[in-house]
Amino acid sequence: MSKINHKHVAMSVMMTFTAGSLAAQQNAPLVYPVTKKVDTVDDYHGKKIADPYRWLEDDHSAETKEWVDAQNKVTQNYLATIPFRGKIKQRLEALWNYPRYGSPFREGRYYYFYKNDGLQNQAVLYRQLGLDGTPEVFIDPNKLSDKGTAALGSLSFSKDGKYLAYLIAKAGSDWQEAFVMDVATKQLLSDRLDWIKFSGLSWKGDGFYYSRYDKPDEKSKLSKKNEFHKVYYHKIGTTQEQDELIYVDKEHPLRNAGVGLTEDERFLILSTTEGTSGRELWYRDLQDASQKDFALLVKGFDYDPGVIENVGDKLLMRTNHDAPNFKVVLVDPKNPAKENWKVVIPEQKEVLLGVGTAGGRLFANYLKDASSRIEQYDFSGKLERSITLPGIGTAGGFGGKAEDKTLFYTFTSYIAPPTIYKYDIQSGASEVFRKTEVKFNPADYETKQVFFTSKDGTKVPMFLSYKKGIKQDGKNPVLLYGYGGFNIPSTPSFSVSNLFFMEQGGIYAVVNLRGGNEYGEAWHKGGMLDKKQNVFDDFIGAAEYLISTKYTVPGKLAIRGGSNGGLLVGACMTQRPDLFKVALPAVGVLDMLRYQKFTIGWAWAVEYGSSEKADQFQYLVKYSPLHNLKKGTQYPATLITTADHDDRVVPAHSFKFASALQAAHKGSNPVLIRVETQAGHGAGKPTSKLIEEATDIWAFVMYNLGMKM
């Protein structure tokens, strides 16, 4: 497919700002590192596509590291000239410095909860005897690394409460290690498991199930395509080499697999996927000694079924088969044909995001115009009540054990930090269990939901949050955020970083783009594959609405998105560079012709399509940000952000896009890249790095939007 002739253009000396006064540096034109080009040409179905920055895909090479250092130096020198950058950091540290709690959950005699005192790099896991007991530190991940870059992942307690298995990720990588602890003594056992990725932990007896890959090559472990996901059973006290292989699909290397148990440990459910959408389900009845192998429960991969729990020898399942907004059905695994399914909770006009269980009840989480609605059912599907929530926002955490009488849930919104509620399952009464205290007054801010019409006539919702008293005079700075993909909704959530922008007079706008599942599978399909342009049209339509209704003007408008949202920003800034003043593509999928060649990228082909298929190449090449930059165009002031340990969306996407953007751009707007070290796609990033990154982003945004502090 590739024809590579290594005719390198000589690399120029990496240049930075010359010495001089602060004013001179601010007014001086930016000088970017001159990035070499290679004569690399790919033939895609008869069309030749140049890829001159292919060499930046090798993140281990000395040349790539020199390039990163040179780019970071230019970026940091530019940011250092912004006079109020220090004030921004001081205010962010003050806002961030408040206690943050997670909802408590019960295991054995103890209640467990997460807490961050304020500026701790990682939240600490505490436990206490009963709800009135004295909390004690159970696991403190801050002690696992000097700079707080080790993060605690999934936890799983054995059914008898004697053991805990947990995962640790380092430097933001998707690779994780598993450890086992004696709960009574808090002492680690000798068990240690490596090369775990995209896995839960599920106990059975004196061991647990997990998923992993074979040991990767050290040099390519952060970029090489992940293949042959395997499920193992680990018995405590043994080595990983002794683990029992439970499942591998040798005929389909690009499938992921994971297993989980029903609460009573009777049914072992195997879920296999070919990508980010659609799954196949298999099961083993562990009470049936004659069943040695997994039996097919639901053939894949056209729908998204998921087992909720068992009811005796039957299985409750959430599915979108013949129900784009999802329904709940009861399935007899011995007779799993769809015509035998019994509908327990029928499909509704709102999308059913998920179903939790606790106290012998089902808790159905619906979305109504991207805001939570929770309903409580018994296991037969009888509606017991709709749970009253504090307002428009996001509620989560409706789960527990079958014998629980109470559960805990959180509620949050764009201007309300998470509040934890204690809920009585029998009576339906909620009471505040723990309220978050942040150094701002929520009453000074408001959120409203507006609807606008996209290019093809589709009605699209958007949340606007801001300090009360703003005027629609076209003078407001706006940060427009979106995601729009992978069936993931953008629902209200609290962020002190976004609060800071609102505090400075900015409007924080979130668009509920197609590609998500705010309105079910039809909304998702309306923004995937050959319909992906709808997502960009929705985002552009949101910007045009904000301008036409005089909330802002193009010179005051910034756009932001991460991962798939980074693709969104990259596509929109290349399609409509005139519409935005600032663009912030973070850890973005920016090379749509080669994304599938790295780590887990192949799994996104069900969402995007693949350049390896002629018909899909035709639409991918039309919007791929890397391939739609036009020389001599003035692009928005751009700050690309990525990280050296991002093995989800490899940093090569951002490296190549930054190089091509700097070469194509004409004008005074800065186009920069910020490469974080010892960090990944975003999960587990320590507080110190979050504050540093937020400081740089808001300094860049405010300076280029003409804001002051």
Residue 681 bears catalytic tag? yes
Give the CA angle between residues 282, 283, 287 to the nearest 5°: 170
Lookup: tokens for 93: 């540290």
3-state SS class at 522: helix
Peptide bond into 598 cis (omega under 30): no
Instruction: Please state whether 161 falls in left (phi above 0), alpha (psi between -120 and 50) or beta.
Output: left
Strands of 483-547, DSSP E: 507-511
> With contact defined as beta carbons under 8 Å apart, do 270 and 259 qualify?
yes
On the CB side of 225, CA atoms within 13 Å amount to: 13
Please give the Cα distance from 464 to 446 (Å, whole number). 8
Task: Report CA 698 to chain centroid distance, whole Å.
Answer: 21
| Ramachandran sector of residue 635 (left: φ over 0; alpha: ψ -120 to 50; beta: rest) | beta
Cα 76 to Cα 673: distance, rounded to the nearest angstrom: 10
By the 10 Å C-beta count (0-12 exposed, 13-18 middle, 19+ buried), 554 is classed as middle
Which one of the listed residues 223, 563, 654, 659 is annotated catalytic?
Answer: 563
As a whole number of angstroms, the longest Cα–Cα distance in the chain is 81
Distance CA 74, CA 53 (A): 19
Lookup result for tokens 């939901």: 449
Distances (CA, A) of 471 to 218, 239, 551: 56, 65, 7
Helices vs strands, H then E, count in the chain? 11, 40
Please give the single-letter amino acid code of residue 486.
F
- Annotated active-site residue 6? The verdict is no
* Residue 204 CB contacts under 8 Å (≥ 6 apart), including other chains: 233, 261, 265, 268, 286
- Distance spanning both ends of the chain, measured CA to CA: 53
Helix (H, G, I), strand (E, B) or coil at 566: helix
445-453/416-424 β-pairing: unpaired
**Catalytic-labelled residue, pool 234, 627, 665, 681:** 681
**Could you tell me which of 130, 115, 268 has the C-alpha nearest to residue 204?**
268
Which residues are designated catalytic? 563, 681
